């Protein structure tokens, strides 16, 4: 009686190869904020990551062709007074990104074509009016000239440790 010890698989002899250091992003201080978020978003031109920042929340936006070690003094997008919880690129315009924060606000930013050369502190649009922290963002694809943001607001009841979900949709255009 013979027993088959090794499973037959098409991928049995496939091995990965590590990417070279000059093709990776290195020395980026990703946020330690614990939240159900990706901490990263990408589009055909840029990659954005939420980073640790003193005095509020910030994120870094890098051109895809800029790889290797990222200097600690690289400019960030910093306008929130609380930690940034989520970021999302616009599906129609690669230079538009929205950020949600614990400071109960959503900000929409325009990244210059060649990337950041100095810290970006003034948003194009600031969406206020939320009573609780803004948890997640989602850009909806409906119209080419209009950006719809669906925002998930979490309200935590400390006594019962429950969450009430609120979904707010903002519509704005140029």
Block means of pLDDT (10 residues each) for the chain, length 174 residues? 66 81 84 78 93 85 90 90 88 86 86 91 83 72 55 44 52 59
Q: What is the pLDDT of residue 119?
A: 92
Write the CA distances from 5 to 2, 10, 60, 112, integer angstroms. 9, 16, 50, 58
Walk across the sheet containing 146-157 and list its strands.
Answer: 134-140, 146-157, 162-173
DSSP state string for 90-159: -SS-TTEEEEEETTS-EEEEE--TT--SS-B---SEEE---SS-EEEEEEE-S-SSEEEEEEEEEEEETT
d(CA 147, CA 142): 8
Residue with tokens 């007074």: 81
* C-beta separation of 137 from 106 below 8 A: yes
Q: What is the pLDDT of residue 135?
A: 73
d(CA 100, CA 62): 19
Q: What is the pLDDT of residue 160?
A: 31
**Residue 147: φ, ψ to 5°:** -105, 120
How many helices (H) and strands (E) in the chain? 0, 13
pTM of the full structure: 0.75
Q: Are strands 25-26 and 68-69 parallel, antiparallel or unpaired?
A: parallel
């Amino acid at each position: 009686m013979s027993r088959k010890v090794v499973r037959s698989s098409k991928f049995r002899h496939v091995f990965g190869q590590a990417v070279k250091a000059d093709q990776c992003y290195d020395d980026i201080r990703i946020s330690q904020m614990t939240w159900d978020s990706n901490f990263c978003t990408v589009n055909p031109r840029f990659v954005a990551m939420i980073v640790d920042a003193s005095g509020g929340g910030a994120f870094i936006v890098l051109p895809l062709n800029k790889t290797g070690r990222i200097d600690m003094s690289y400019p960030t997008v910093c306008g929130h007074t609380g930690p940034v919880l989520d970021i999302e690129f616009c599906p129609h315009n690669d230079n538009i990104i929205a950020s949600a924060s614990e400071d109960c606000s959503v900000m929409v930013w325009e990244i210059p074509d060649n990337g950041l050369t100095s810290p970006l502190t003034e948003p194009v649009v600031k969406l206020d009016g939320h009573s609780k922290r803004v948890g997640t963002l989602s850009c909806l694809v409906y119209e080419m000239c209009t950006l719809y943001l669906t925002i998930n607001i979490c309200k935590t009841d400390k006594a019962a440790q429950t969450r009430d979900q609120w979904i707010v949709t903002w519509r704005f255009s140029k």
